[in-house]
């Protein structure tokens, strides 16, 4: 697999469209940080770490639905391995005019777009969520 973050986002997108209760993915610290931001913003109910039958670490994300509709309407990967997108804090694009969030990898860790503007930290735009 060449892009595990894109795989993670696709699994979340497919799980929300299929109205699954949980989404199970291989574990990584970057995926854990993305799940933490999604939980803090109210897009997922929660997440925890587990292990599969072979002993590999997994990340279990509990999907959130509001009256039967998924909380995650859209999820799009912005920066890819072939085309990295970097922005300074003043140039970070707004998602749906502020209704969605961007997740950015900065030197201070993963942050959502509003926190980057507040802390004056730019970085690589990972994905957009709405």
**For residue 77, with 0-12 CB atoms within 10 Å meaning exposed, 13-18 middle and 19 or more buried, which class applies?**
middle
Structure confidence by residue, pLDDT tens digits, 60-105: 999 999 999 999 999 999 999 999 999 999 999 999 999 999 999 9
Q: Are 6 and 77 in contact (CB under 8 A)?
A: yes
Q: Are residues 24 and 53 in the same domain?
A: yes
The domain in which residue 121 lies consists of: 75-129
- When divided into structural domains, the chain yields a total of 2
Q: Are residues 34 and 18 in the same domain?
A: yes
Q: What is the pLDDT of residue 96?
A: 96
**Tokens read off for 15:** 């799980």
Single residue among 55, 70, 85 that ends a domain in this structure: 70
Single residue among 37, 70, 103 that ends a domain in this structure: 70
Q: Are residues 25 and 45 in the same domain?
A: yes
Q: What is the pLDDT of residue 58?
A: 98
Q: Which helix (H) or strand (E) holds 9?
A: helix 4-17
Q: Are residues 10 and 25 in the same domain?
A: yes
Q: Is the pLDDT of residue 59 over 90?
A: yes
Q: Which of the 8 DSSP states describes residue 71? A: S
Structure confidence by residue, pLDDT tens digits, 6-50: 999 999 999 999 999 999 999 999 999 999 999 999 999 999 999
Q: What pTM was estimated for this model as a whole?
A: 0.95
Q: Is the pLDDT of residue 113 over 80?
A: yes
Q: Are 11 and 127 in contact (CB under 8 A)?
A: no
Single residue among 70, 101, 117 that ends a domain in this structure: 70
């Amino acid at each position: 697999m060449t892009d595990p973050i894109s795989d993670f986002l696709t699994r979340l997108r497919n799980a929300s469209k299929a109205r699954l209760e949980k989404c199970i993915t291989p574990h990584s610290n970057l995926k854990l940080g993305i799940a933490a931001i999604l939980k803090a913003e109210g897009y997922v109910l929660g997440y925890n770490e587990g292990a599969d039958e072979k002993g590999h670490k997994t990340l279990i994300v509990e999907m959130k639905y509001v009256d039967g509709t998924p909380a995650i309407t859209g999820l799009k990967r912005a920066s890819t391995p072939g085309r990295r997108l970097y922005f300074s804090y003043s140039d970070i694009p707004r998602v749906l005019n502020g209704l969605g969030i961007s997740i950015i990898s900065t030197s201070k860790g993963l942050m959502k777009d509003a926190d980057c503007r507040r802390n004056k930290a730019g970085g690589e735009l990972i994905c957009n969520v709405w």
